[in-house]
Amino acid sequence: MMAHMNESLQNSALRALVIFSGGQDSTTCLALAQREHGKENVECITFSYGQRHALEVEVAQKIAKALGVTHHRIVNIDGYAQLTQSALLNPEIAIQKLGEGTGLPNTVVDGRNMMFLLMAAIVAKQRGIHDLYTGVCETDSSGYPDCRDVFIKSCNATLNLAMEYEFRIHTPLMWLNKAQTWALADELGLLDYIEENTLTCYNGIIGRGCGTCPACTLRARGLEAYRGSK
């Protein structure tokens, strides 16, 4: 009996849940989590939240399957789009280019990462999982406040207090620029796959994307810098 309990605790410690959108960053995080925890111990959660391109969910499902994820949960929170305005929620709002405008970019979705982390934590606790992975990055992003390290640390502490459960939020890309993220993808053996199959583009174009939106601009610059450094 005691041996069985110890084995269950060990298995719980190994398991991880990845917040997964099917984009470059979350796909890199998924592959990294699989390397660190073992492919069979990594699960994914994807949110349908009324985003501009529902194709994101389909891409996430396809990639998760290709990478051997056996437990992938899709959570529908489409009503979220009724709470706030963003160019990533409303196709009638034109997406600003990188550096255009003042203040926060109009692609900010207020509270999105907090909502995702809360829901992922609820699912993780029910499944006995302590390790959460998310692909947020402060170094080379579009200036989103909920991608900052200080927010993640604060959210981690709040979730632990709220549920009296020890969550460990992993942000392996936090201090990487996009060139370094591509280097990590290459180290994981997935650079070409990520380049061709992920959906990062704000205009909903899989792979290399539209080439003009902020996400595509950062992604292309990073890839060019990484290839130029080799």
- Rounded CA separation 104/100 (Å): 10
Task: Establish if 100 belongs to a structural domain.
Answer: yes
Task: Establish if 86 belongs to a structural domain.
Answer: yes
Query: How confident is the model over 114-154, as pLDDT tens digits?
Result: 999 999 999 999 999 999 999 999 987 667 899 999 999 99
Query: How confident is the model over 202-222, as pLDDT tens digits?
Result: 999 999 999 999 999 999 999
- Rounded CA separation 35/58 (Å): 24
Task: Establish if 27 belongs to a structural domain.
Answer: yes
Range of the domain at 149: 2-178
Task: Establish if 94 belongs to a structural domain.
Answer: yes
**∠ CA(82), CA(88), CA(92), 5° rounding?**
80
What CATH number does residue 66 fall under? 3.40.50.620
Determine the length of the chain: 230
pLDDT band at 13 (very low <50, low <70, confident <90, very high): low
**pTM for the predicted model, two decimal places:** 0.92
Distance of CA 173 to the CA centre of its chain: 10
Task: Establish if 185 belongs to a structural domain.
Answer: no
Confidence (pLDDT) at 8: 44
- Rounded CA separation 108/6 (Å): 44
Among 188, 208, 186, 203, residue whose Cα is nearest residue 56? 203
Query: Which has the minimum average pLDDT: 29-33, 64-68, 107-111, 186-190?
Result: 107-111
Task: Establish if 79 belongs to a structural domain.
Answer: yes
Q: Domain tally for the chain?
A: 1
pLDDT band at 2 (very low <50, low <70, confident <90, very high): very low
